[in-house]
Amino acid sequence: MFGRRLKLLILPLSWLFVTFLSSCQKDDIDAEVLEEFEGSNVTPEVLYTTNGDLSIRYIRVNDDPDKPTIIFVHGAPGGADNYYEYLKDPALIDSFNLITIDRLGYGGSNRGEAEPSIQKQAESVYPILDELLLDSQSVVLLGHSYGGPVIARIAMDRPDDVDGLLFLAPAIDPKNEKFEWAGKLGCSVPTKWLTPKDMETAAVEKSNHVNELEEMLDDWVKITCQVTYVHGDDDGIVPFANYAFAKEKLAHTDMKMVAIEDGNHFIPFQEQEMVKEFLFELAH
């Protein structure tokens, strides 16, 4: 019993610590990208794109029209830097164009200006898709945690333009949505000043998340591409119950379901080789 209580305490504190680290960014974030890749034999491009009043920053490695493209979408909080290790990976570089984005409200995408609309989060990525489709490139989307419903919304809106989805512990089930106490601090006027900027943004997103997910309930049938879904059965941040929700809502697709025994929420960072394997399966 004590171990269980300790675990319930440690998980939110770990999330808070990760959030704090993600908020400690240099002022010149574009220069920081180049600095991060020094010595890696990889020269990333730092790019910006707009869709109406929606503007995002993204980092790209490779621009080869003959290669499939993988777009990485982070959770809440997070940033494009969550996937830098993937952008440095020789096997991925040899096979794909790689793009990681700062979602609206994070990094170079109007950091601190929270955008709780999943629809708008998705629409901010459409100019990138449009550019890729000019060269008839196939596109695979990877979404972790809050990034899961974002890539789902993209595939719902543009089913003919997405070739594969890789969900990693996605927060997609409105009936099993958790809003941790640490996140609630970012929504309360008396405590907002205590929270890092990225955590405050995440808190605004999460406080609206149930309503946003409910608006998507009838649209899961619109997803037509191949899907791989991965979730740890000991995830203390996004409940494993999302697994059953996905199995029901995506039963009409070519779907692969993977449950990681004793796995936690941090799949992109702890299971990189597994994630790479699934990306190759979806993109070829």
Residue 265: both structure tokens together: 């929420």
What global pTM score does this model have? Answer: 0.87
The full set of domains in the chain, from first to last, is 2-283 (3.40.50.1820)
- Other C-beta atoms within 10 Å of 191: how many? 13
At 135 the pLDDT is 84
- Phi and psi at residue 250, to the nearest 5°: -115, 20
Angle at 232 (CA atoms; ends 226, 237), nearest 5 degrees: 110
CA distances from 84 to 100, 130, 178, 207 (A): 8, 23, 28, 28
For the chain, give the percent of residues with pLDDT over 90: 78
Kindly report, residue by residue over 237-269, the tens digit of the pLDDT: 999 999 999 999 999 999 999 999 999 999 999
Kindly report, residue by residue over 148-175, the tens digit of the pLDDT: 999 999 999 999 999 999 999 999 999 9
pLDDT tens, N- to C-terminus, the chain (284 residues) = 445 444 444 455 554 454 444 444 444 889 999 999 998 889 999 999 999 999 999 999 999 999 999 999 999 999 999 999 999 999 999 999 999 999 999 999 999 999 999 999 999 999 999 999 988 889 999 999 999 999 999 999 999 999 999 999 999 999 999 755 444 444 444 444 445 788 899 999 999 999 999 999 999 999 999 999 999 999 999 999 999 999 999 999 999 999 999 999 999 999 999 999 999 999 98
At 3 the pLDDT is 52
CA atoms within 13 A of residue 169's CA, in its CB half-sphere: 26
At 190 the pLDDT is 47
At 180 the pLDDT is 54
Q: Judge contact between 154 and 141, C-beta under 8 A.
A: yes
